[in-house]
Structure 1
Amino acid sequence: MDARIILSEATYKLPIQPNTRYVLRLYFYPSDYLRYNISSSYFTVTAAKITLLRNFSASITARATTQAYLIKEYSLPPSNSDTLELTFKPESKATFAFINGIELIPTPNGMFDTVQMIGLMSSEMDITGASLETLFRLNVGGSLIGPKNDTAGMGRTWYNDMPYIYSGSVGVVTSIKKGQHVKYDRIPHYIAPIQVYESARAMGPDGLEVNSKYNLTWKFSVDPNFTYVIRMHFCDFLMTRPNQRIFDIYINNQTAQGDDNALDPVGTAGAGVPFYKDYGIFVRGKADILIELHPSMFSQPEFLDAILNGLEIFKMAKKKQKEFQSHNMIVIAGAAGGAVGFCLVAAILIVLVNRQNRRRNQRPPCPHGSSWLPLRGSSMSSNSDSNHLSSLAQGLCRHFTLSEMKRATQSFHESNVIGIGGFGKVYKGAIDEGLTKVAIKRSNPQSEQGVNEFKTEIEMLSKLRHKHLVSLIGFCEEEGEMCLVYDYMALGTLREHLYDSRKGPMGMLSWKQRLEICIGAARGLHYLHTGAQYTIIHRDVKTTNILLDDKWSAKVSDFGLSKTGANMENGAVSTVVKGSFGYLDPEYFRRQQLTEKSDVYSFGVVLFEVLCAKPALDPSLPKEQVSLADWALQCKREGRLVELVDPHIKEDIKEECLNKFADTAEKCLNDSGLERPGMGDVLWNLEFALQLQQEEDQEGGRICERDDSK
């Protein structure tokens, strides 16, 4: 509860033992201290000349992660010095740094050695001199292990893995049997506490072929363009001999262990003997790490199963990454053999072809769907009228001429109109000689959503890339026209498939599809709230702004009303109320204080809309039923929610799933924003509801078959 406020660059000099790796923990409790407003705190932290935090705001980070306080943990490499210099530097004279606690713990030698790099240039990498930030530390299949129960006085916290499970099945949790013992024969006991190895998550205790049809999967959100070290802990205490349980390991769809190198825990270490494997991967453009386990069909084990006991993910400092990239170049240059030579020739050809394409098109390719962004400057046409946009936003977007827009839409022909919004009409079009389908939003000169919304949409979306956000390809601002060019969403809006009579029975979504669409939209909103530099509040979440691609994947769209910034005092920003009636957060309407919980409220309305297939507002209904949010809440509290469920899906919903889904929607609609869950919690609950729906129906749990006498 106490903090040291740092107004100018200051350095702690902490005594250390030379040639020893240390764990450094920094504790931050973002609050207002005396006259210092925590929203004005932005600073950089370095240790031993390694940048740990840059332009860091503990306040924004805490709000984005819905935590009251933050603990940042780093594993610092050994040095010859007997002093660790820890420096805090405010970003400007108007800002300040602060720190609540510093913990420095020597770790035993051998904590980190080499890792197996995953990818095209697979090789081993020495990380003994790497600086690593701890991002995730999980006791897979087990309960939380607090600092007091960690080994060697290292004070680590091991969390349960359930929030990160991404597969359709959560598998089964197994624990060591009475009388069994974990034997530290291969690794030191300080690598992980014994409790980590005494529990595990597996696919199932049998050899059913159902295990061959899915992967046991965990998903983690990370920053792109960093190298990550993934440490996986194993201890098979159920199998007794080799070749009983063998499985493949995939990291971001790349093989870490597979085929003749599949992992056999008992064959590797022995029954009940813990060991760990370290893997390294460079995450280039995808802001996720996906870890998947699958039974090895190649090895033909006795049981089709996989197992994991613990998992740690570390982010490597940029300095070490550059060393690795240099190392890779040496590997490439010195390697012999046809395969490597072929890769080099192919890479050169790709570069030459891309260069020719750029020359032919006179502008760099658009960034959508790619892990890189084009360079600024030469891509902008000389006749651009884009005076409203920052140079950064222009550089991250493709610029189109008005003639290109007309050619793409047949001069904005009415037959190509696929929607009309507050900004103007939306046209279906095709660019790049008709090869790429796009949606083009053309401003209406009489529209209230003019230059500001045009600018906001570009400034926002040009810097955001996520699977569940509609990608902005580019823009046109010429001769008084303003156009925005997006990826084409072939299946239109979510609303169309809920109760648009034009779609007919074939347009109705199944309950499982609706759940998956809600989960996708929740992921997109969760990214907006937590994944960008600053919290982004969409401010217009509704079913017409959730679009569906040709694979029924949901993408959040329309950022013209969005708000963001570093100066959101106390987690809120005062602003003129904007949004769509029926979805509007009543607290935001009353107080004109916008927070990310306003999006949560709107999303709660969407959830009931999906469940009931009724519009958010229907003036034709009796007064108490006009607002779907109010009516659904009343029915739920009276135990009559089943009456509102869409008849097309009523027979398919399992009771447990319905209860979880409705409880989640109800919490989103709490009148107090503080009492509403964050989007991360909403996402977790929806994924859990989907798991409940997919579980085998052992008790005839469909709501239409329920026996109310029980």
Structure 2
Amino acid sequence: MMVYLMACASIMRTPEHFTCFLLLVSVIHAANYGPTDRIFLNCGANGEISDDDGRKWTSDMNASSSVGNSLASDAATQKPSVPTTPYMSARIFQSEFTYSFTVSSGRKFVRLYFYPADYAKHVAKLGVFSVDIGPYSLLRNFSAFETATNLNYDFFSKEYSVNTGSGGDLNVTFTPDPNTPDSYAFINGIEIVPHPDDIYSSKGFTLVGASGSFGIDNTTALENVYRLNVGGQTISASGDTGLFRRWGDDTPYIYGSAIGIPVAADQNVTISYPSGFPDYVAPVEVYKTARAMLPNPQANLGFNLSWYFDVDTGFTYLVRLHFCEIAPDKTKPNQRVFEILINNQTAEAAADVILWASESKVPVYKDYGVFLPLGSPRQDLWLALHPNTYMTPMDYNAILNGIEIFKVNTSGGNLAGSLPNPIPSQPIIDPSRVLPLSKSDHKGGIIGGSIGGGLAGIVFVSLVVCFLSHKGKRQKNQNSSDRTSNWLPLSLYGNSDATAKTYGSYAPSNLGRHFTFAEIKDATNNFDEDRLVGVGGFGKVYRGEIDGGTTKLAIKRGNSLSGQGVNEFRTELEMLSKLRHRHLVSLIGYCEENSEMILVYDYMAHGTLREHLYKTQNQPLTWKQRLDICIGAARGLHYLHTGAKHTIIHRDVKTTNILLDENWVAKVSDFGLSKTGPAMDHTHVSTVVKGSFGYLDPEYYRRQKLTEKSDVYSFGVVLFEILSARPALNLTLSKEQVSLAEWALHCHKKGILDEILDPYLRGKVSPECFTKVAEIAVKCLADEGIRRPSMGDVLWNLEFALQLQESAGEGSVEMENDETPLNGKSKDFNESVTDSTSITSQSLASVDSNGLTPSAVFSQIMNPNGR
């Protein structure tokens, strides 16, 4: 196929914007680097379409190929996480096929996009093939299906940097594997973006742990295997410097519980690129955020801040580390000096960012080469930072802003490697948030059913413990976090003015009652296992008693091995200490002594909503009880969205986070992932995806743009759970029924929604009430947030549905005076989608919240592009 690109018709250059018009491929984008021959091919599709980053993708339908035959096909199914562009159509090859692009000379990023689904008659598992670009072998016997399965992704992309020499054709060849019966090759999207020749080239990269150096020149091809914005949020392609690179979250790669803390520069801080340092090296957002060690110098001496990366052996790797000193009190050399270790070898004995950059707020990067001898197919590449004591710096600490890791081709032009190692299932979402676990006799209810993890969570924790143990044995010589945890009290996170100014105050302030550890031990009978009522990712939850047994508490004790740590602990404290509402769980206090992190709540006698719907020995809830509980939860969420001083998005609405007190009053719980909503002049919050499988808003999942409508989607799943008494995800069912949300929408479309009704409820729900609740739930599950109702409108319609049930003779409902429906009529849902002001403050039995500051939450997300 020949793709001819014309020169720019017009170029306008400002310090921040570059606009380039192409004849066939048009991209309008704020960028620092603006090449003229960008190509975005949506393979197998018709026409032109824009992706979530605003890039326009053109079809390859009418193009001719140099060699080979092909067919176009749409994917048989679209998983909720998968964006339409460029993943929902593909070009299929049953024999060798070559795309030929006419491009300018110089280096190019070539990105290949894969969604391993079934296409036409082609089964995903049989898609085994090779990919070559000119003399370089990019992929050999490559299975997109197995790659996605091992990584637990729905879709993914591969990025390469190759040089096209003096210009001409850039040929990309796909070849089905001849050794796999009925094999075929496929591609969903091809992106070609020129980049400066010198951005990754050098004649002398230092080889860590070996003598000599290696170079990267125009004959070298690279594969980017990791690119991370350390300590910051994911940066999408549109947020890069015109090269459309995606910078991911680093937390999934941090070893152990010693995660340090993320830090960020003040909004008014300006990052100054030095002379000779091109601003396209990395976006400014990379240098405005970082991950540092703890603000407690003595604690830092006991551990390394470490990351590990699964890579192929038999290759040399270029490791690029980005630094920028953004702490206001770090302005001189020898204030923060640290060691950099790569694969347990010293790369830098005395890294001093200020010394390298000459001043603060100035970025710098360092490149290192690492060779991994061929042995087992794959190996972990380790990166560790540790304070330098020999230089006696003012602060025993370390900092890192960004990581890029590239695989370098072998002398024969090979970049192809083996399949990535399988990782524990569901790495994108915190596994403790998938399925709750309660003891067989339950021992009463808990606040913690919400926090209680599930069998899947326990299996995952067991795997992690085994994994960390295995890692520890392999890294005996490493001064790492397998010996010393960073699970430290909030009070150790800095008391000095400088520390508070740098990291923000972590010291408790007006956060409820401060319990001593002795009081907690006494309340739980020294954490008696007979008082254990739940286990979750954060830790164990116990039933506690104080005041001579007259006051019952739920006590959540943090686990030092848990991935959920200081940030989630702090977020929960901040949120619940400033929120008061009848339908929000009440935080009593906390304990932080003896390196403990313990949260104390009101005791919820009837546990979680989920424990009364399925997989339980409890008596099934009546239909009226279910409606009352959903109305109460909706009131709590509506208060979060509109009644507090700032909009608060819960971000983890599900039946295990709806608790029931002794009077069956519903209370929303677990605010560890909550986020303060967008300012009035913004429509959303851009943030890394967090939540629970089965409840996750597909629009939020695809675009990483969070709004209160994400909670509405999750609540829609809850409504279908109370209708059907089945979990949001059931992997034992047929493929089309695994997801309750997808199955319910399918049944609604077919007009058979009544078939999913809980058998216990048959004959007990009036048809009018069932229709109204189903209508509410379906509207909540709209694919686009703008088409979903507000939580206030959901509340309005649920109250009306309850009236419909009562009028059908199901009995009366006792409601408090401040919780009566605002109107006896139901709103039309088409109207309610756009009118979010219909519920007034009269429906909120609330106390205003003080202002809340967003807090970063530790992420278990492996890759926001797919699960």
TM-score (norm 2): 0.40
- Return the structure number with greater relative CO, CA threshold 8 A, min gap 6: 2
Which is richer in helix? 1
TM-score (norm 1): 0.49
